[in-house]
Each structure stands twice: as structure tokens, then as C-alpha cells.
Amino acid sequence: MASRMQSALKRRYMVKGFVFLMPATFVYLFFAVIPFLDNMILSFQSWNGFSSRFFVGFDNYIDSFRDANFLLAIKNSVYLGVVSSIVSVMVGVLFAWLLLYVGRRSGSLFRTILFSPSMIPAVITALIFSFVFEPEIGILNQLLRLMNLGGLQKAWLTNRATVLNSLLFVSAWKQVGLTMVLCFAGMQAISTSLLESARIEGAGDWVILRKIILPLIMGFVQLSAIFALMSGLKIYDTVLALTNGGPGKFSVVMPMWIMQNAFSFNRYGYGAAMSVVFVVIVLVGMLLTRGLIKGESYEL
Amino acid sequence: MNSKDTILRSNRTLVAISYGILVIGTIIVAYPILFLLFTSLKSTAEFFVNLFGFPKQPVWSNYKAAWSTGHLGDYFFNSVFVTVGSVLLVTLLSTLGGYALGRMHVPKSEFIIMAFMTFNFIPGIAIYISLYKMMATMRLLSSHAALILPYTAWQIPFSMYIFKKYFETIPMDIIESARIDGCSELTTFVKIVLPLITPAIATVVVFTFIGNWGELMWAQITTASSMTLKTLPVGLLNFKTEMGVEWGQYAAGLSLVTIPLVLVFGYFQKYFVAGLTQGAVKG
């Protein structure tokens, strides 16, 4: 009897619950899910934005794999995603680990400064780096000149040999702090007595890092690797502000090429098809990272 | 008391190496930002002779020039309006939704929130093409709503996730006793539950603010043909050409946007980090 009354009550709350949930769901459906589904349909259609849409089967997809610029864009995006996530995870974990060895006060100062690029919009960090890479008066070339290494000066962003790695540097510069803060949070959660007993047993710092700290923060490493991979694969603002895809199309990335096709060349169906390929690449990247870095969640 | 650092810090050499490496890292991160600040106070003439150092005679007028000639005022207003509007809407919609999923017996709530979160990984460009045409048809493109509504929507999954998790830590007893006392669900929510979740609100506000303040791609698409709706990220892209070779003014413009962010969010950093680690629990 009582339980039936309770379940009737629960049902009443459930109905109200749906009412509470509705506004958020409605807004999300309207501005994300429905356009995405329409985009899927559009990827099988031809459309210049004005005349009516008509189906063309897989033509857009077939075109996209014959499009040298799109293939180059995939290559660049994947390169920036994979390498910048490897670099930022390695440097981030290193910094987080070293933070355990410095005093609390200086540690929190290091942390605040190293993390600050994560809070600055990507456009702005990119524009700041236009000061660094500028060929004539840029910081980097001037520094090389001061160190009598003038021979190493380059036009960093217009030279094919350096442009991608310059972008990579900016992307990692922005991402390292985030990785560091996440992994440091993981390390904070490791119990002190565990480290203490390892020390008493005579374990060196290297052994403690490899056998205790790293295994216990794998969940955080996995998460930060996924974050870094996502931001690298989706990188757009940085490239637009620094190279606009140049020299030529050499540093073009996926979102940029899709944007241009849809909104500058009015090839909406083609852009939609490439964006679906992009979605697949992002999802595969995420699943692969999950598989490669096993983040067993320990009860900490 | 033996804390973690005292145990590890017995290795003096490693402590020294740690300081060394972290100082170098900090310089690499901080110097470009400092360089921007220094440059923003230099005249163009000084910039060329004193590239690296502190400005000898600070030229504050760079800031004034950047603000007026660069149209920064208009961009700034648009960005504030759009960001604040979407932050308020996100908070409203996702506290309601998160409460429903966490504390109102909605079936399959775990599945619902995971569906939102998974969808959240989809790159924006796979949404923008169709959305742009939808909004053009509805004649929404010429108002701030073209930015506020989508910015609200895209921040809902993560925010609702944070709120759901947080609501679940509030004991059911508190909520039920309010219900038994005859409070309507909305009163319970506003009077009893909301005050208990201020840290979660802070996290969501900081996250949404940072995400939307710097958004570029959608803003570029929607404001391409509008002179009056451009936000700071879009405006700053054109800024360099408008400023010509006035490096000092250009740097002043960039600093105007950067400094408040770094100051305010340096203070709120813990909420940002709390939000990220919350995400980690269920990665």
C-alpha cells in the first residue's frame, strides 16, 4: 500500500521532471541535433544555397576522396591532433610530477602561470604568436640574431619546412597547462602513506613515478590525451589567424577547407559530406585514444 | 606531519632540477604575454629599438587609440552581451534539466545525459552548415539571438552533466522534507536546492564564459555580412590590418581583451579545474 503510494508519488515527480527537462532538451535538439541530422541528409545532396536541393547519392563523398586539398587537410589535422596530444601529455605529466618537488607556494604560482593560456581564446593566443613568428621583428628571429644564430632565422609561417611545427608549438603551448593541472589533480589524490611506505622500502624517485604515480593517474592521462587530441583535430582559430592555411594551401586543416567550400564556394552539400568524414575521424580518434591509454579508475 | 612533498623532497638534486625546468617552462609561457603588455606601452619608434625589454616611457594613449580606431568598443559590447546572455540562459536551462535528471526520478537519466555528452563531441562545422540555413529561413541572422541561442545550446550537455552530478550529492531527505512540507517543486528547487549548489554554478559560469567569449567559427559565419554584430574574436582578426603597422596600438588592443580574462579567471581557476576533474570521474 505504502509502496504503491510512493510509486504514484514518484510518477508525479517523474512527469514534473520531464517538464523541467524539456526546455534544455528542446533548445539542444533545435540548435544541435536537428541541424546535424539535416547535415547528414545534405551530405548526399547537391545544393548551392539558393536553388532546391537534389540527391546525388555518394557523389560528394567520392569527390571528397579525390580532392587533394581535402586529403591534405585530413593529413594536417591528424598530424596536429596526434603530435600535439603526445607532446602536451608528455610535457604536462612531466610538469605535474615536478610540481610535487617544489614548495607549495611556488608550486601554485607555477601552476597558475602555466595554466593561464588555457583561459585565453585561441584567436588571441594565435595573434600573440604572430609577434613571435614575424620574420623581421618577431621575437624568435630577433632572439636567434642576439644569440649569434642568425643563420637559423626563418620565415617560420611561410616556410613549408617549419609552418606545421610552428602551429604545433602554439597548440601545445596552449594545451600543456590543462594536461598538467588535470594530472596534478590525479597525483594529489594519491595517498601519502603509499608514497611514504614506498620511500621506506627504499624506492627511488624514478621507481615511484613509474610504479606508483603513473599507474594511478592513467584515468587523468587518458582524459587529457582525449582533450588534447580533440583540440588538435578541430584546430581552426589558430591556423586561420597565423597562416590562413598558407603558404598556398600547405597548412590547410579540415574545418577550414569545409568552411571555404560551404560558405565561400557555395558547395553546401560537398561541405556537409566532408564534415561527416570529419565527424567519423574525430570519433575514431577518440575511441583509439581510449583503447590505447587504458584509464582504469582506481578508488582513490 | 609528513606531507607528500616532504617525503619526495628529500631528493635535493631532483628538487633543484624541478625548479630549473619549471622556471624555464614558466618563462616560455609567460614571456609572450608579458611581451604583449610591454609592447602595448611602447611607441612605434621605441618598439624597433627596444624590442624585448620593459617600456622606458609608457605610452598609455595606445590603449585609447586601439579602443576607438579599432572599433573595439562595439566588438566588446557585442561579446559581453552575447556571452552574458548565453551564460544566464545556460545556467537556467541546465540547472532545471540537471535537477530533473538527478533528483526527480526521470527514468534512464544516465542514458539521457550520456547521449547529450556523446553528441557534444561532434565538431561544430557538422552542425553549422544546416543551422546557418535554418536560421536564415527564420530571419534570426540579423540579431544577437543568432549567437546567444546556439551558444546556449552547445554548452548545455556539459553544464547539465555537472549539475546532475552535483544534485546527486544532495541528500534526498532534504528535498523530500521540503516536498512533504507542501513546497511546490519549483519552490523546493529555488529555495532549498539552488543555494546548495553554488560551487557547481560557479564552475558552469566560468566554463560557459570562457567557451563562448572566445568562439570564432560560428561568429564568423553568422556575422559575415553584418557590420554591427561582430564579436571580439571576429573583430580582432581584422584588427591588424586596420591598425596597419602600429605595433603598440595593436598590442594594446590584444591586451585589453587578454588582461581581464587572465586576472578574473586566475582567481576562478579552481572552479575551472573542478569542472574538468568532474568530467574525469566519468570520462
Contact partners, residue B22, CB within 8 Å, separation at least 6:
A95, A98, A99, A102, A110, A114
pLDDT value, residue A298: 46
Contact B55, B184 (CB under 8 A): no
Q: Per the CB < 8 Å rule, is B51 touching A115?
A: no
Phi and psi at A54, nearest 5°, equal: -135, 150
Q: In 3D, which of B166, B150, B148 has the Cα closest to residue B97?
A: B166
Phi and psi at A250, nearest 5°, equal: -60, -35
d(CA B154, CA A33): 10
The C-alpha cell of B140 is what? 534570426
Do B51 and B84 have their domain in common?
no
pLDDT at B280 exceeding the cut of 80 = no
The residue ranking higher by pLDDT, A202 or B273, is: A202
β-sheet bridge partners, residue A45: A55
pLDDT value, residue A160: 87
d(CA A272, CA A78): 19
Contact A84, A165 (CB under 8 A): no
Inside any domain, residue B60: yes
Q: Could you say which DSSP state residue A154 is in? A: -
Q: Indicate the residue of B39, B273, B281 with minimum beta-carbon distance to A181.
A: B273
Quote the domain boundaries for residue B172: 71-243
pLDDT in tens, B83-121: 999 999 999 999 999 999 988 888 889 999 999 998 888
CB atoms inside a 10 Å sphere around CB B12: 9
Q: Per the CB < 8 Å rule, is B105 touching A129?
A: no
Dihedral sign, CA of A196, A197, A200, A205?
negative
Q: Per the CB < 8 Å rule, is B22 touching A230?
A: no
pLDDT value, residue B189: 84
Do B95 and B235 have their domain in common?
yes
Domain termination residue (choose one: B36, B64, B92): B64
Distance of CA A9 to the CA centre of its chain: 45
The C-alpha cell of B130 is what? 544546416
pLDDT in tens, B205-222: 988 998 899 999 999 999
Element (H, E) at A45: strand A45-46
Inside any domain, residue B146: yes
Inside any domain, residue B76: yes
Phi and psi at A50, nearest 5°, equal: -120, -60
Q: Average pLDDT of B195-202? A: 87
Do B152 and B239 have their domain in common?
yes
Q: Could you say which DSSP state residue A30 is in? A: I
Contact A284, B132 (CB under 8 A): no
Cα angle A141, A146, A147; round to 5: 100
Q: Per the CB < 8 Å rule, is A137 touching B5?
A: no
Shortest Cα distance, chain B CAs vs residue A62, angstroms: 18
Chain B interface includes A93 (CB < 8 A)? no
Contact A266, A49 (CB under 8 A): yes
Chain B interface includes A31 (CB < 8 A)? yes
- Tell me which amino acid residue B41 is: L
pLDDT in tens, B128-159: 999 999 998 888 888 899 999 999 999 999 99
Q: Which chain A residues have a beta carbon less than 8 Å from that of B88? A: none
Do B39 and B162 have their domain in common?
no
d(CA B64, CA B133): 39
Note the helical H segments in chain A. 2-28, 34-42, 59-66, 68-99, 104-115, 122-133, 139-146, 163-188, 192-200, 205-207, 214-216, 218-233, 237-242, 254-259, 268-292
Q: Could you say which DSSP state residue A118 is in? A: G
Mutate to test the interface with B, among A7, A37, A105, A131 (most CBs of B within 10 A): A131
Inside any domain, residue B204: yes
Q: Which chain B residues have a beta carbon less than 8 Å from that of A112? A: 266, 269
Contact partners, residue A219, CB within 8 Å, separation at least 6:
A186, A295, A296, A297, A298, B280, B283
Q: Average pLDDT of B235-244? A: 75
pLDDT value, residue B116: 93
SS3 A244: coil
Q: Average pLDDT of B7-28? A: 89
Contact partners, residue A271, CB within 8 Å, separation at least 6:
A258, A259, A261, A262, A263, B125, B129
pLDDT value, residue A214: 92
Do B147 and B226 have their domain in common?
yes
CA distances from A36 to A141, A279, B118, B158, B223 (A): 45, 11, 13, 18, 21
Q: Indicate the residue of A20, A118, A223 with minimum beta-carbon distance to B279.
A: A223
Q: Render B20-88 in DSSP notation, one character per residue.
A: HHHHHHHHHHHHHHHHHHHHHTS-HHHHHHSSSS--SS--THHHHHHHHHT-HHHHHHHHHHHHHHHHH
CB atoms inside a 10 Å sphere around CB B72: 21
pLDDT at B4 exceeding the cut of 80 = no
pLDDT value, residue A90: 96
Do B54 and B89 have their domain in common?
no
Do B82 and B217 have their domain in common?
yes
Give residue B281's pLDDT band: very low, low, confident or very high (50, 70, 90). Answer: very low
d(CA B21, CA B36): 24
Q: Per the CB < 8 Å rule, is B100 touching A18?
A: yes
Q: Indicate the residue of A124, A222, A234 with minimum beta-carbon distance to B283.
A: A222
Inside any domain, residue B102: yes
pLDDT in tens, B247-269: 888 888 888 888 878 777 777 77
Do B143 and B29 have their domain in common?
no
Inside any domain, residue B124: yes
State the total domains in chain B. 2
The residue ranking higher by pLDDT, B199 or A91, is: A91
CB atoms inside a 10 Å sphere around CB A58: 11
User: Nearest chain A Cα to B30, which residue?
Assistant: A113
pLDDT at B228 exceeding the cut of 90 = no
Do B26 and B160 have their domain in common?
no
The residue ranking higher by pLDDT, B185 or A98, is: A98
pLDDT at B238 exceeding the cut of 70 = yes
Inside any domain, residue B282: no
The pLDDT mean for chain B works out to 85
pLDDT value, residue A296: 58
Q: In 3D, which of B195, B234, B216, B211 has the Cα closest to residue B76?
A: B234
Chain B contacts in chain A segment 270-299 (CB below 8 A): 271-272, 275-276, 278-279, 282-283, 286, 295, 297
Chain B interface includes A113 (CB < 8 A)? yes
Domain termination residue (choose one: B30, B49, B64): B64
The residue ranking higher by pLDDT, B128 or B203, is: B128
Shortest Cα distance, chain B CAs vs residue A217, angstroms: 11
Do B87 and B182 have their domain in common?
yes
Inside any domain, residue B283: no
The C-alpha cell of B35 is what? 611581451
Do B84 and B116 have their domain in common?
yes
Q: Indicate the residue of A101, A117, A219 with minimum beta-carbon distance to B283.
A: A219
Contact partners, residue A103, CB within 8 Å, separation at least 6:
B5
Listed as ranges, residues in chain A with pLDDT below 50 are 298-300
User: Nearest chain A Cα to B253, which residue?
Assistant: A124
d(CA B176, CA A95): 47
Q: With 0-12 CB in 10 A as exposed, 13-18 as middle and 19+ as buried, what is B253? A: buried
Do B8 and B143 have their domain in common?
no
* A146-150, B26-30, B271-275, range with the lowest pLDDT: B271-275
Q: Per the CB < 8 Å rule, is A192 touching B7?
A: yes
Q: Indicate the residue of B94, B99, B153 with minimum beta-carbon distance to A32.
A: B153
